[in-house]
């Protein structure tokens, strides 16, 4: 009776306990800000013990010791994650209408240390009318103090961060991108001629926009400005970044000359000075596949004869003298920053016909590879078989010899000297 009472009480308690919601997929909402995306995830899978979410959010491929990863411990409510536009594997893509899109893939993992099958991946994308709209906040909000964040940096676009402790109202006032606001109203200048738009595109060897290549594949960077008859361009101060603020490499100096011709050569300019291009082999940092290129485009008046001259990069160039000369000019030239990025993967699937292949160890086509244990067992079995064969051969030889000995031991009518007295003759 006690056992039955205990069982009935347990069943009643189980029925009274509310069962957690099952099969509820998280909903994702994206808000496009100036310089970042604000991602809000509702109904994230909770922990079955606490009923709260404990896990992490990170861009795909950046789950190991990444500053772009954000952790959430016993979090209540919706998850909020701020993804920068110019780092953390977020890549730009220019559209046909002159706008620009930024896209990435984020991973929601409901565990702080393990990657499980409960994780979800979401493709996120933000579209802007222009690069300036994507990067520059409103003029009356530029002087607002920035909120503190876990990883400090001179450029807040360098890191992703969680925003679980901030309010919606604070985010709405910080760097909000207004798609309906007229472009250019915040920049009031005395110039009657508007500044031309500037673009950077990276092409592969098939003359298509490069987004996923391998180490050593030929790439071509094309930097251009809108067609007009007032300004030309000079490409300076190019760098390549990893997007994690861990490393960068300078490619082109402030005088427009390459820093290392083996990595990237000198830009070639068109006759109208409206575009420049350079072709180089793809490279990457050893710990990430994302690569970001950034250059400064210095505008010059086409009426100025020096604007038609290409940089002279032969021999050693006086870097400090170049900077001093540019500062001594009457007016500082207008400079526009351009950037782009792509994914560069390891060249694992190298062609077997490449004689100079350094990524794959060459092996014979008919080679047979076995482990040490298998090889030792095979040698032992072969030795045992050889020993058995030798023993069998010795036994056969001994058996033959014993047979001959037995046959020779008996008497025979032909043994001994033979004499026939019937035919003997003595004189």
- Would you give the distance in Å from CA 424 to the centre of its chain? 116
Q: Which pLDDT tens digit goes with each residue over 252-289?
A: 999 999 999 999 999 999 999 999 999 999 999 988 88
Q: Using an 8 Å Cβ cutoff, are 294 and 277 in contact? A: no
Kindly report the number of other CB atoms within 10 A of residue 34's CB atom. 20
C-alpha–C-alpha distance, residues 390 and 372, integer Å:
27
**Measuring CA to CA, how many Å separate 100 from each of 19, 59, 131, 292, 366?**
46, 20, 6, 16, 52
Strands (E), 172-274: 198-203, 212-214, 218-225, 231-241, 248-252, 268-269
What are the backbone angles phi and psi of residue 349, rounded to the nearest 5°?
-90, 65
Q: Using an 8 Å Cβ cutoff, are 26 and 41 in contact? A: yes
Q: Using an 8 Å Cβ cutoff, are 381 and 283 in contact? A: no
Least confident of 31-35, 54-58, 171-175, 376-380: 171-175
Q: Which pLDDT tens digit goes with each residue over 336-350?
A: 888 899 999 887 643
Q: What tokens were used for 4?
A: 């039955």
Which range has highest mean pLDDT (5-14, 160-169, 413-422)?
5-14
* Whether pLDDT at 185 is above 80: no
C-alpha–C-alpha distance, residues 372 and 369, integer Å:
10
In this prediction, residue 279 carries a pLDDT of 95
C-alpha–C-alpha distance, residues 224 and 269, integer Å:
10
C-alpha–C-alpha distance, residues 30 and 81, integer Å:
10
* Whether pLDDT at 242 is above 80: yes
Task: Report the percentage of the chain scoring pLDDT > 70.
Answer: 66
Kindly report the number of other CB atoms within 10 A of residue 159's CB atom. 24
C-alpha–C-alpha distance, residues 44 and 256, integer Å:
50
What average pLDDT does range 77-92 have in this prediction? 91
C-alpha–C-alpha distance, residues 239 and 294, integer Å:
5
In this prediction, residue 1 carries a pLDDT of 61
Q: What tokens were used for 359?
A: 């990524």
* Whether pLDDT at 318 is above 80: no
C-alpha–C-alpha distance, residues 274 and 199, integer Å:
11
The sign of the CA dihedral 302, 303, 307, 309 is: positive
């Amino acid at each position: 009776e006690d056992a039955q009472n205990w069982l009935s009480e347990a069943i009643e308690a189980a029925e009274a306990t509310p069962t957690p919601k099952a099969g509820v997929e998280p909903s994702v909402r994206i808000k496009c800000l100036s310089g970042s995306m604000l991602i809000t995830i509702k109904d994230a899978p909770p922990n079955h013990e606490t009923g709260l979410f404990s896990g992490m959010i990170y861009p795909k491929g950046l789950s190991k010791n990444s500053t772009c990863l954000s952790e959430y411990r016993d979090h209540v409510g919706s998850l909020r994650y701020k993804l920068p536009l110019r780092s953390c594997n977020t890549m730009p893509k220019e559209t046909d209408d002159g706008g620009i899109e930024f896209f990435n893939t984020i991973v929601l993992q409901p565990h702080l240390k393990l990657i499980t099958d409960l994780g979800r991946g979401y493709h996120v994308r933000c579209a802007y009318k222009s690069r300036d709209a994507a990067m520059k906040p409103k003029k009356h909000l530029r002087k607002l103090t920035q909120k503190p964040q876990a990883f400090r940096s001179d450029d807040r676009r360098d890191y992703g961060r969680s925003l679980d402790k901030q309010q919606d109202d604070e985010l709405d006032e910080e760097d909000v991108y207004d798609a309906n606001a007229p472009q250019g109203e915040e920049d009031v200048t005395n110039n009657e001629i508007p500044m031309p738009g500037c673009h950077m595109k990276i092409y592969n060897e098939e003359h298509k926009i490069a987004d996923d290549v391998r180490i050593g594949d030929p790439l071509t960077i094309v930097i251009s400005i809108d067609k007009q008859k007032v300004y030309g361009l000079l490409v300076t101060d190019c760098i390549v970044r990893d997007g994690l603020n861990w490393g960068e490499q300078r490619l082109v100096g402030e005088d427009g000359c390459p820093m290392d011709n083996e990595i990237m050569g000198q830009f070639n300019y068109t006759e109208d000075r409206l575009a420049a291009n350079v072709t180089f082999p793809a490279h990457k940092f050893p710990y990430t596949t994302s690569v970001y290129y950034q250059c400064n485009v210095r505008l010059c008046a086409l009426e100025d004869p020096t604007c038609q001259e290409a940089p002279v990069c032969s021999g050693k160039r006086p870097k400090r003298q170049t900077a001093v000369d540019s500062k001594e000019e009457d007016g500082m030239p207008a400079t526009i920053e351009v950037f782009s990025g792509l994914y560069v993967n390891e060249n694992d699937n190298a062609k077997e016909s490449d004689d100079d292949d350094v990524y794959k160890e060459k092996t014979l086509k008919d080679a047979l590879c076995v482990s040490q244990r298998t090889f030792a067992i095979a040698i032992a079995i072969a030795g045992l078989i050889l020993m058995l064969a030798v023993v069998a051969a010795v036994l056969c030889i001994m058996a033959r010899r014993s047979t001959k000995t037995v046959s020779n031991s008996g008497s025979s009518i032909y043994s001994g000297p033979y004499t026939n007295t019937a035919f003997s003759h003595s004189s």
